[in-house]
Each structure stands twice: as structure tokens, then as C-alpha cells.
Structure 1
Amino acid sequence: MNGAGVLVRCEAAARTYGIGATAVVAVHGASCEVRTGDRIAITGPSGSGKSTLLHLLAALEEPTTGQVAWPGLTEKPGPRTVGVVFQGPSLIPALDVVENTALPLILSGEPEPAARRRALDCLALVTAAHLADKLPEELSGGQAQRVAVARVLTAAPRLILADEPTGQLDQASGRHVIDVLLATADTLGAGLVVATHDPRVARRLSRQWSMNDGRLRPDPDASCAPASPQGGEP
């Protein structure tokens, strides 16, 4: 397959938890790719494998079988190349909001003052700058989710993966977060993949993938069609 613009590619990637009779297959042989500029919604019921697929795309988990590769990244997957908005709590309890948001930059060697300025700018994008000195325990679920989005944006990744980013937000706040994700992806020239239960969110993205019982069904568009096992163009 021509790798031009391909940020991540799965080839028959599967993920199984456990062994023997108790084994659970979370993802069955997924073949797909995400390219620069893609805007993809992954829909499906709870437990369908959406989160596990995002973890595979982010290199947070390794496939049990098959392969995942990142031909379009100049560095290995990490916060500066692949940003993940997690579905559950992901902020570090001992750090305040601005410290949590600046963390990816600080860990990559950015001077702390510059990292804090960038973090405050990104918090402002998600209308959370007023929370800068709060600890995670002082935040509502929706506020924590907005901070998690700002933390990903701070690192300016090439690929943004968001797992139910509006799940704990009211409709107006959720719409704003999707606005920010789309605008940031456009500015960075990044790929964006959003796992969501909300059809209103899914309609905001130009591509639709669905998952059911661990099986991925990408849409037939060439920019996100299943990877071809013969190596030809989709």
C-alpha cells in the first residue's frame, strides 16, 4: 500500500485478553489506516472494542496478532506525536490543572515557563483557564475532561485520538470541545479519530467507522479503507 500521508496503519491487528477458555477478544483482526487530515468517528455500543482499538493506534497496547505501524511519524508514538484523550480519569492527582496540562511538554524537555504559557493558552481554548490552580479532586467530571483535552492540544501531536471526549459534558460544552478538536487538527494538519456514542458528534466528522463485538467496519472511502493484504491501493 502507498504510505504517503499515512500516520498509522493496522494490518489484521487483534487484541486478546487472557488465555484459554477465559480469553476475551477485544479486537478481531482490524485492518485500517489513518492519514493526515482524516476526521474519523468510531461508533458502536459499549464493549464493542472502540477503546482498545484507540489504544492500539496510540501504541499504548501491542496487538496479540497482526501489526500496527506509524509510517507517517518522524518519532516513535508518544505525547508529542500521538495525543490521547482518555475516557476515564487521567489527570495526576498531585498536580494542579496547569501542571497536568503542561506535563507532556515538560517531560519532553520544554522549559517550564514556556510549557506553562502553552498550557494556559490551551486551557483557554477549552474555557478552562480559570481552573489553572485547581487540583483534579476539585474538578467536576466535565471540567476534568476539558483539561484532558487541553493537555493533548498542548503537545501539538500529529495524530489526535479521543475516547468519548464529550461523554461527561453537557451539549453546549461537548459541541465546543469538538469545535476545538477539529480546529486544532486543522491547524496542526493532524489526523483526528473520535470514539463516540453520540450520533451528533459522529456527524461532525467526515468519515465513519463502526465497531461491533470487536469487529471494525471502516467506511469505503479510500482515505480510511481497510488496508489491502496484497499491498495495493485501497
Structure 2
Amino acid sequence: MTLVRCMDVSRTFGHGEQAVVAVHGCTCEVEPGARIAITGSSGSGKSTLLHLLAGLETPTGGVVDWPELTDRARDIAVVFQGPSLLPALTVAENAALAAILTGTSEAEADERAAAALTTVGIASLANQLADTLSGGQAQRTAIARALALRPRLLLADEPTGQLDTETGSHVLDALLAAADETGAALVVTTHDPAVASRFEDRWQMNDGRLVAPAREGVS
């Protein structure tokens, strides 16, 4: 069973002499329950690969398909490096928003959001406005927003990249715990070896090319 599969996928930005190939001929797949860290330096193509897995980017070569995901808007959730919350809404309203926008009733979305906020450890902040949050609290809210979709595939692009080490560790704890609780497959991009060490499967991007995925022990 495969949630998403890339087959000889490439992604080029621009045209002619200005063209930049961000991903070259990538073949990989993500199975249910996977815990994958995509590592690489800045500009290596790891975020572009994540966006291809999410369907946010269209490949310029090869094929991406989602054989087990019939409703990608609900089945796939993405946590970005910046939380992108709506400042005038409360934490609970932000957490429920994506579910509401994809067709979940407001009552159910609120219930899911409350459960997700509990999972990531910030239920006590439910009525606080988003623009009053710390960086770590805001990122946890973004994770809760993703979880309220009840996704089968959870993708996170440098989720600790803008946080200090301690806060980033707490956010990563919350992300892993949330994926464990919901059973979602989890794929994160990171340049931080400490973050990557928390994942059993580690893929490395190097100049747009995916090094053969390898399974290692979790530290």
C-alpha cells in the first residue's frame, strides 16, 4: 500500500538559460505509518520534493500519484516553516479553519481542533488570539490545524527551522506524538541532524538528486 509515489520526477523553475532544475529524476514512495526525514543543505531541493509529494508543485517531468488518497485536500496536510496563522482569530479558530474550508461542518471542525490542541499541548491557549503567541506556540497551532483535517499524510517543511533548539525540540515532540496518535504518515524536511536523528527513515537530497533512501536507527 502506497500513499504517494514519485516516478522519475523532475521539477524545473524558469526557462532557457535561466532555468533551474530543483529536483532531478526522483523516484520514491511513502507508505502508511512512515516516519521520514528529508535532509540536505539549503537549496538542495528538499522543500521542492516535499511540495511535489503534497501536490503543491506540478512536476515538469515524471509522474506523482496518490494511489490510496482519494481526497487530497483532506488526506494531505502540510505544516510550513512559518505558521501562517490569521492574527485576528483565536488559536481554536485557526486550528479549525482548514477543516472548515475543506467541507467539515463547523461543529465537527471545532471538536477536531479542540482534540488537536490537546494533542500538541496547548489546549489552555484555545481562546487566545494568534498574534499574542510565541513562536513555539504558533507552530504548535499550525500543527493542530493540520491535525484537525485528520490527514493520512502529514508533511512538514522545516517545522523547527525558525525556532531555538529547546522550543524546536518541544515542537518536534508534539509533531511526532500527533502523528503517532492519528496514525498519519509523517515526512519532514530538515537541515538539522538532531531533528533527522529522530526519524527511522532518512532521505538525503544533494543538488536536486535523491540519494537512495536508507533506514537507520532512531536516536
The two structures share one fold, judged by TM-score above 0.5: yes
Aligned length: 215
Query: 2:13: which partner in 1?
Result: 17
- Matches of 2:56 and 2:44 in 1, distance apart? 18
Query: 1:174: which partner in 2?
Result: 168
Query: 2:75: which partner in 1?
Result: 81
CA-CA distance at 1:40 after TM superposition: 0.7
Opposite residue 40 of structure 1, the aligned amino acid is I
Q: Does 1:28 align with 2:31?
A: no
- Of 113-122 and 19-28, more deviation after overlay is shown by 113-122
- Matches of 2:2 and 2:194 in 1, distance apart? 27
Tell me how large the CA RMSD over aligned residues is.
1.9
Q: Percent identity?
A: 60
- Matches of 1:207 and 1:130 in 2, distance apart? 34
- Matches of 1:141 and 1:212 in 2, distance apart? 30
The unaligned stretches of length 5 or more in structure 2 are none
Closer, same or farther in 2 for the Cα pair 1:220/1:206, shift >3 Å?
Answer: closer
Q: Alignment partner of 1:6: what SS?
A: coil
Opposite residue 59 of structure 1, the aligned amino acid is G
Query: 1:104: which partner in 2?
Result: 98
Q: Alignment partner of 2:213: what SS?
A: coil
- Matches of 2:88 and 2:13 in 1, distance apart? 31
- Matches of 2:214 and 2:118 in 1, distance apart? 37
In the TM superposition, 1:17-96 aligns within 5 A as: 17-73=13-69, 75-78=70-73, 80-96=74-90
Q: Alignment partner of 1:187: what SS?
A: helix
CA-CA distance at 1:119 after TM superposition: 1.0
The unaligned stretches of length 5 or more in structure 1 are 222-234
1:137-156 CA distances to partner (integer Å, 9 max, x unpaired)?
A: 33333322111111111112
1:60-99 CA distances to partner (integer Å, 9 max, x unpaired)?
A: 11101111000121x2311x20111111342234433211
1:18-63 CA distances to partner (integer Å, 9 max, x unpaired)?
A: 1111111111111110111211111111111111111100001110
Q: Alignment partner of 1:104: what SS?
A: helix
In the TM superposition, 1:216-231 aligns within 5 A as: 216-220=210-214
- Of 168-177 and 60-69, more deviation after overlay is shown by 168-177
Do 1:208 and 1:218's aligned partners in 2 also have CA atoms closer than 8 Å?
no
Query: 1:230: which partner in 2?
Result: none
- Matches of 2:68 and 2:92 in 1, distance apart? 30
Q: Calculate the TM-score normalised by the size of structure 1.
A: 0.84
